Amino acid sequence: DAVMHMAAETVVEYSMTDPRRYFHNNIVGGINLLDAMLKHEVYKFVFSSSAAVYGDPESIPIEEGHLKLPVNSYGESKLMFEHILQWYGKAYGLKHIFLRYFNAAGATELLGEDHCPETHLIPNVLKAALLQSPISIFGTDYPTKDGSCIRDYVDVIDIAQAHILALERIEQFNGRAYNLGNEEGCSVFEVVEAARKVTHAEIPVKISSRRAGDPAVLVASSKQAKLELGWKPQFAQLEAIVESAWKWMRKHPEGYSA
């Protein structure tokens, strides 16, 4: 038996104004889960962590050993829970692996993104295409090639595969952390352009001020996951990720409520 723990409060902007909620749900809730596992003698745990644990990175691409200084309480909550897991491992024999997602995106035929509120870039850009409305770009004065934030987008199917591989190898690589990303940075403007190509919509942009807690650049080094877990991402191209999300959104314009 094993647990894959993916539940969490994840909106970076909200974590800056309501850290109590993030620490309570992401840490206290997680501890309750760990205690329930011990009670029922379940000792294998794959944790959905985040690139947010690194904060503003000093070097790109980011390797797992990079300094961890979160700049928002969401990232802090993920890092704190990683530490808690390490202590549970030492004290109670809980085998665990951390998977540090970069920007999860994309969809399958049956499953897509439907958050309330929706804060992820790709579904918001596609919703703008669907509704023929502008998309807000938060900050164009970052020290990047076009002034917008740069992120590393990784498909949910590839993330799911990484979880299976982690569970299969948890005995061998107990306690390890792995970055999950495509090792390629895409700016907000590049995501908008990819969405224009996929949807054939104009998608006007609206420039807004920066959001609190957003690092300028987050790009993964996923070499360790590839080497040790045998992880091989199948959806490395941004347009392919956007296209899968677009197909789902066209079938579910109102999300899961439709």
Catalytic residue numbers, as ranges? 74
Cα 186 to the chain's mean position, in Å?
14
Beta strands 135-138 and 103-105 are: unpaired
Angle at 99 between CA 95 and CA 105, to 5 degrees: 150
Q: Which whole-number Å values give the CA distances from 160 to 46, 99, 108, 116, 155, in the listed order? A: 11, 11, 11, 23, 9
Nearest to 103 by CA among 82, 129, 133, 123: 123
Q: What sections of the chain are H helices per DSSP?
A: 12-17, 19-23, 29-39, 73-92, 121-131, 156-168, 188-199, 223-224, 238-251
For residue 55, count CB atoms less than 10 angstroms from its CB and return exposed for 0-12, middle for 13-18, buried for 19 or more.
Answer: buried
20 token code pair? 């109590």
Collapsing DSSP to helix, strand or coil, 26 comes out as helix
- Strand partners for 47: 5, 98
